[in-house]
Amino acid sequence: MTVLAWLLVVVPLAAGGALVAAGRRADRAAPAVGVAAGMVTLALAGVSAVSRPAASAPLFTGIHAGLRVDGLSAVMVVTVAAVTTAVLVFSVGDSALVSARFFGLMLLFAAAMLITVTATTLPLLLMGWEVMSATSWALIGFWWRQPRRVRAANTAFLSTRSADLGLYLAAGAALAGGAASLRLDVLPHTAEPWLTVLTAGIVVAALGKSAQLPLSFWLSRAMEGPSPVSALLHAATMVAAGAYLLLRLHPLLAATGWAGPAVAWAGATTALLLGLVAIAQTDLKQLLAASTCAQVGFVVLAAGAGGVAGGVTQLVAHAATKALLFLAAGVWLTVLGSSVLADLRGAARVHRLVGVTFTVGIATLAGLPPLSLWAGKDEVLAAAFARQPVLYVVGFAAAVLATVYSGKAAWYLLRSGVGAEAGRRVGSRDVSVTTGVALVVLAAAAVVLGVLALPGPARMLRQTLGVLGEPAPRGWQLAASAAVAIVAAVLAWRWTGTRVPVPSVVTGWLTRWLDLERAAHLLVVRPTLALARALAAFDDRIIDNTVRQATRAAVRLARAAARVDDRLVDGAVRQATRGGLRLARTAARVDDGGVDGVVTAVAAQARRLGRAARRPQTGVLHQYYTQLVVALAALALLLLLTG
């Protein structure tokens, strides 16, 4: 059992690490190795979802690194492994990505997520969490020759890491508050005031990772990565990790009065505002990215409102749907060279398989019954309704927006236009078998997961998660959302392409993702850089200069001392010598006899003494230094012997 838990994370970790380390030499073997590793991982995930293994090893003083597949983790590991495998299979067909670096990093990315969703202690969770950030940096910047892609990777990495600080804070707070083992299940028992700090840290980290407001902008930039990276990052890793953490720690949110409502409102607000942002986008990938924030917002809303089952349903359904949509968008981006909606008009009509699966995906995203996201959203809204009817209203409005932006995307892709013509021109290159398989599997999942709306499967999921008491959507709620979704979809189809009576200031603001990135630049990045430059100048000019001045003063002092030495002390010696000489001469005059030789010798000796006395005054600093040391040592010795 223990072995299985370790294998689940070690297989993708080792395979990914080996591929990345091997580099270009392994490029040819990479797709086979990558897909095989993905499939083995999926099999391990399946087995562990049933057998529920656990493992633990000592990590720090009194703190273990624990892995366990419980109900929630079981759902997550299967989702992560399945989406990863599908995305890897898809990537085999993209010649620009067939490399050891790509497949290796993708496996590492997935392995980090598997660690995160199975970890039972905070440090291990944080390890998976941070490795995920690092690999996302490498994947978003995969085409590193283009500076804008690297800049995007930096933005994503630094934004999420700024939120990650919350987890470090949480770990310290848990320890200080008495949850010394840092096990996730004891965190709610942390003593105040540390409980507040702990919860705040967790919430900030989770919201940042899930690209909720106000950090949503990094997800927009993350679109610079290859499409399969987006598929994985939006569906089963990164953004899913934050939502997972909130679902996992919902007892913690409940333990503090404020955290549940705060998280629920953060999710609801994001769902609403980013839904509007999605509608305003003119690029398919950007539209899908904004919709990710909004859809994951529902999961966050569920976690805050205490609807774990609803949150999980939404998370899994969204994973299948969004992976599918990004892969389809990736096909068109490769074939047509664009993801701008206007260029893609009618593209879904050309590549039949891609078109059909995309249509299934976008219909699911729209929340049309009886597809999976319709089921998931209603589960979430049921929990919101039980908590606070206002939350339900906001969530419902956000659901309508989801239908509208999905309808907009469908309108562009399905009506014939320039995309179809361009597609027919290059149409000979049809999609490869592997690509097709991946799309069909994901589309099937997006549809089939709708069964979770049925009472039986919904109950089974609740049983798996151990949350039987949670509210289920009532009949009128399901009916209302179904009816409204259909009406909204029809209206969206009608109205797309017509002018909307909204001032351009607002649409521009929405198109630019609420100007959040610019705000972050103005408020954080630029002041920090300015401060850094100012401090660097301060370091060079003031601090270092003070030291230099002090040294110079010391040298000046030494020179002055040397001068005094030369003039006074040495002068005295010279005078003495001269005096001696004079005395000698006098003596010579007095006594021209035998003593003459002796006197001359004394004089010569005195002269030599004078020269010797002058020798230490060299004016060279380090020699003064040595003398200082000798003197100090002598002093020390004196102290010792007398003390």
Nearest approach in angstroms of CB 546 to other proteins is: 8
Nearest approach in angstroms of CB 415 to other proteins is: 40
Q: How many residues touch other proteins (CB under 8 A)?
A: 65
| DSSP, res 569 | I
Long-range contacts of 560-567, Cβ-Cβ distance < 8 Å, separation of 24 or more: 562/617, 562/618, 562/619, 565/617, 566/614, 566/617
Q: Does 32 bind other proteins (CB under 8 A)?
A: no
Within 390-419, the residues that bind other proteins by CB under 8 A are none
Nearest approach in angstroms of CB 233 to other proteins is: 18
Q: Does 62 bind other proteins (CB under 8 A)?
A: yes
Nearest approach in angstroms of CB 61 to other proteins is: 5
3-state DSSP assignment of residue 97: coil
Nearest approach in angstroms of CB 439 to other proteins is: 32
Q: Does 22 bind other proteins (CB under 8 A)?
A: no
Cβ distance to other proteins smaller for residue 257 or 643:
643
Q: With contact defined as beta carbons under 8 Å apart, do 157 and 134 qualify?
A: yes
Pick the binder of other proteins from 90, 103, 109, 157 (CB under 8 A): 157
Nearest approach in angstroms of CB 62 to other proteins is: 5
User: 10 Å Cβ neighbour count for 639?
Assistant: 9
Nearest approach in angstroms of CB 637 to other proteins is: 8
Q: Does 539 bind other proteins (CB under 8 A)?
A: yes
Q: Does 141 bind other proteins (CB under 8 A)?
A: yes
Q: With contact defined as beta carbons under 8 Å apart, do 311 and 243 qualify?
A: yes
Q: Report how far residue 117's alpha carbon sits from residue 476's, in angstroms, rounded to the nearest whole number.
A: 35
Within 463-482, the residues that bind other proteins by CB under 8 A are none
Pick the binder of other proteins from 500, 529, 568, 572 (CB under 8 A): 529
Nearest approach in angstroms of CB 189 to other proteins is: 16
What DSSP line would sit under 593-636, residue for residue? STHHHHHHHHHHHHHHHHHHHHTT----HHHHHHHHHHHHHHHH
Find out whether the peptide bond into 193 is cis, omega within 30 degrees of 0.
yes
Q: Does 457 bind other proteins (CB under 8 A)?
A: no
Report the run of H or E that residue 57 belongs to, with start and end.
strand 54-60
Cβ distance to other proteins smaller for residue 466 or 527:
527
Alpha helices by DSSP H, listed for 339-417, are 352-365, 372-387, 389-414
Q: Report how far residue 263's alpha carbon sits from residue 146's, in angstroms, rounded to the nearest whole number.
A: 37
Report the run of H or E that residue 63 belongs to, with start and end.
strand 63-68
Q: With contact defined as beta carbons under 8 Å apart, do 353 and 440 qualify?
A: yes
| Residue 411 structure tokens | 């309108």
Pick the binder of other proteins from 2, 51, 463, 528 (CB under 8 A): 528
Q: Does 450 bind other proteins (CB under 8 A)?
A: no
Nearest approach in angstroms of CB 65 to other proteins is: 10
| CB burial of residue 120 (10 Å; 0-12, 13-18, 19+) | buried
Nearest approach in angstroms of CB 564 to other proteins is: 23
Within 182-241, the residues that bind other proteins by CB under 8 A are 182, 197
Q: Does 6 bind other proteins (CB under 8 A)?
A: no
Which of 153-161, 389-397, 443-451, 459-467 is the region at the interface with other proteins (rule: CB under 8 A)? Answer: 153-161
Q: Does 127 bind other proteins (CB under 8 A)?
A: yes
Closest CA to 283 of 218, 348, 220, 327: 220
Report the run of H or E that residue 60 belongs to, with start and end.
strand 54-60
Q: Does 620 bind other proteins (CB under 8 A)?
A: no
Q: Does 96 bind other proteins (CB under 8 A)?
A: no
Nearest approach in angstroms of CB 550 to other proteins is: 10
| Residue 171 structure tokens | 């770990």
Q: Report how far residue 213's alpha carbon sits from residue 365's, in angstroms, rounded to the nearest whole number.
A: 21
Q: Does 130 bind other proteins (CB under 8 A)?
A: yes
Angle between helices 71-92 and 30-51 (to 10 degrees): 160
Q: Does 27 bind other proteins (CB under 8 A)?
A: no
- Phi, psi (rounded to 5 degrees) for 64: -105, 160
Q: Report how far residue 395's alpha carbon sits from residue 269's, in angstroms, rounded to the nearest whole number.
A: 9
Cβ distance to other proteins smaller for residue 157 or 411:
157
Nearest approach in angstroms of CB 355 to other proteins is: 37
Nearest approach in angstroms of CB 133 to other proteins is: 8
Cβ distance to other proteins smaller for residue 85 or 99:
99
CA 196 and chain centroid, separation = 23
Which of 41-49, 67-75, 166-174, 274-282 is the region at the interface with other proteins (rule: CB under 8 A)? Answer: 166-174
| Residue 231 structure tokens | 């598929």
Which of 37-45, 235-243, 599-607, 619-627 is the region at the interface with other proteins (rule: CB under 8 A)? Answer: 619-627
Cβ distance to other proteins smaller for residue 169 or 482:
169
Cβ distance to other proteins smaller for residue 121 or 281:
121
Alpha helices by DSSP H, listed for 449-594, are 455-465, 475-495, 504-511, 516-520, 526-538, 544-564, 571-590
| Residue 578 structure tokens | 């001269």
Q: Which residues bind other proteins (CB under 8 A)?
A: 23-24, 57-62, 123, 126-128, 130-131, 133-134, 137-138, 141, 144-147, 150-151, 153-154, 157-158, 161-162, 165, 168-169, 171-173, 175-176, 180, 182, 197, 528-529, 531-533, 535-536, 539, 543-544, 547, 551, 621-622, 625, 629, 632, 636-637, 639-641, 643
